[in-house]
Amino acid sequence: MKFYAFPDKRRRHRILSKILLVMKLTIILLVAALLQVHAATIAQTVTLNKKNIPLSQVFKEIKKQTGYDFLYSPDMVEQAKPVSLQVTNQPLETVLQQCFAGQDLTYTIDQKTIVVRKKEPEKKTLIPVTAPQGPIDVTGTVLDEQNKTVSGATVQVKGTNNATITDAKGQFTLKNVPDNAIIVVSFIGYQKQELPATPDLGKIKLVVATNQLDAIQIQAYGTTSQRLTVGNISGITSADIENQPVDNPLLALEGKVPGLLITQTSGIPGSAVIRHRGHNPRECFGDPAAQPDL
């Protein structure tokens, strides 16, 4: 008994041929699709070298090169500014951005159509306006330089008669105070404090007022003050001296210190200066006219 395998070989051959044919067709279709995509990609680049041309003319040039259609209102585009472009193989999106720069127009791309429309006005941010507040009640506590409460200090709304005094605990309350008012706190021996009005001023510390009588003065044999000095001390500042048109600082003292007489020996610049205090200069020089009658 004999067996023949020729029909099976022929069947396998036909199957392999069909598979090869399908593979060839698949490769051909893939190559065609890639070429189409490549061609579409190339078509989306733009080359233009135009100066001050209407925007509608730019749209026509772009359509020729890319195949994209433009949808717009002619009246809207006629009011647009002229466009100057100098691009070579630039992407479509880049060219469109240059076309619409500084224009009152914008665009959107829908598949192969470019829709042109007017820009929407920017929404202005509204700044909330706070309504003016009514009068407030101001409270606080007044302290001295040692952080002790001050009783009897005067607390007043500046420029008005609305005032009060602190109680035994140094506390106060001012009613019906405008929110933009200035509060003045004063007490004998202390400097006035001015504070903007707020519902709670907290602790207000006073500063001791300086008195001219207690200012320190330096003398030849120590320090003293106008309140305690037993002599006649006068003070001259540098500002008083620098304002005098003299070449000798001693001449600037003339008329500034009570009882001090300044005499220049001659009118020559730089000549000696004689100082006297408490004596008549004519007596010192033996002037007979200055001698008292006997």
Residue-wise pLDDT for 84-142, tens only, equals: 888 888 888 888 888 888 888 888 888 888 888 888 877 666 666 565 567 899 999 99
Does 1 have pLDDT greater than 60?
A: no
pLDDT top residue among 25 and 142: 142
Query: 67 with 45: CB under 8 angstroms?
Result: no
Quick one: pLDDT band at residue 221, thresholds 50, 70, 90? Answer: low
Whole-angstrom Cα distance, residue 26 to residue 37?
17
pLDDT for 292: 43
pTM of the model: 0.35
Least confident of 13-27, 211-225, 234-248: 211-225
Task: Go through the domains of the chain in sequence order and give each one's CATH number.
Answer: 44-118 (3.55.50.30), 136-205 (2.60.40.1120), 214-290 (no CATH)
Q: Give the mean model confidence (pLDDT) for residues 198-227.
A: 74
- Percentage of the chain exceeding pLDDT 90: 21
Q: Give the mean model confidence (pLDDT) for residues 159-180.
A: 92
Quick one: pLDDT band at residue 171, thresholds 50, 70, 90? Answer: very high
Does 277 have pLDDT greater than 70?
A: no
Quick one: pLDDT band at residue 29, thresholds 50, 70, 90? Answer: confident
Quick one: pLDDT band at residue 289, thresholds 50, 70, 90? Answer: very low
Does 200 have pLDDT greater than 50?
A: yes
Q: Give the mean model confidence (pLDDT) for residues 198-220.
A: 77
Does 151 have pLDDT greater than 90?
A: yes
Does 226 have pLDDT greater than 90?
A: no
